[in-house]
Structure 1
Amino acid sequence: MKVNFKRYGLYLIRWQLSTPILAGVGIILASTGALVAAIVANLIGGLMFFWVDRFIFTSETLDAQWEVKENICCVDCGKVTRGYRLVRAESYDRSDDPEPEFRCEECSIKKSDELKRQGHNH
């Protein structure tokens, strides 16, 4: 399984932030009994953190950004096919590239592996 460490880090931070909020609700509602306080605290947490979790796990800004075009000439092998180029990743940004380089799927995978070896996470 491939882990997106940005997402994982944000999730761990979010998890820690939920603790004092839910504990506070539990303290306020302690007089209603532990079970009721826990249920209400978890409902409030669910209402609040659903949206945060949704952003963390579905946001495209936390993903690598790829551009795909049909009928390109692969810059590496010359094959005319669907082309891919990595536009932006954690430590890589070619969004303003005046001459973008598209690669076929096979060459794109090779280039991706090369970028990983150079320390560019995507």
Structure 2
Amino acid sequence: MEIASWHETGAVPVTILQVKGDLTANEPLESRARAAVLDGARDIVLDLSHVPYISSAGLRAIHIIYMLLRDADPDDGVAATQGIARGTYKSPHLKLVRPSKNGQKALSTAGYDMFLDLFDNVPTAVASYR
């Protein structure tokens, strides 16, 4: 698995983490995300367009990134708790780009698609931040 990262600025600064290869381990992606958050990243786009397969460890990495960003925004924690129970919440800080068919199935089975927005490309995901 390879992970590339860069920054783009739309309405807010956004960190892009692009994964290439099967997402079968949580540590590499989790470490990159932790470093980005420690450097001040508050909005991350996770580009999964080159990820054919996501394992349970990959799902764990995505969840950890979600929690890192949610914990960095106290207001989001309250909104998440109430909104997830109602089915009305989408993370304002983590967006996913073009998971494969198998990746979408894993995300859907785990329920992640209920609170994470999926986009067709990075520019559209970056533009969605306000």
Calculate the TM-score normalised by the size of structure 1.
Answer: 0.25
Which protein is richer in helix relative to its size?
A: 1
Which protein is richer in strand relative to its size?
A: 2
Calculate the TM-score normalised by the size of structure 2.
Answer: 0.24
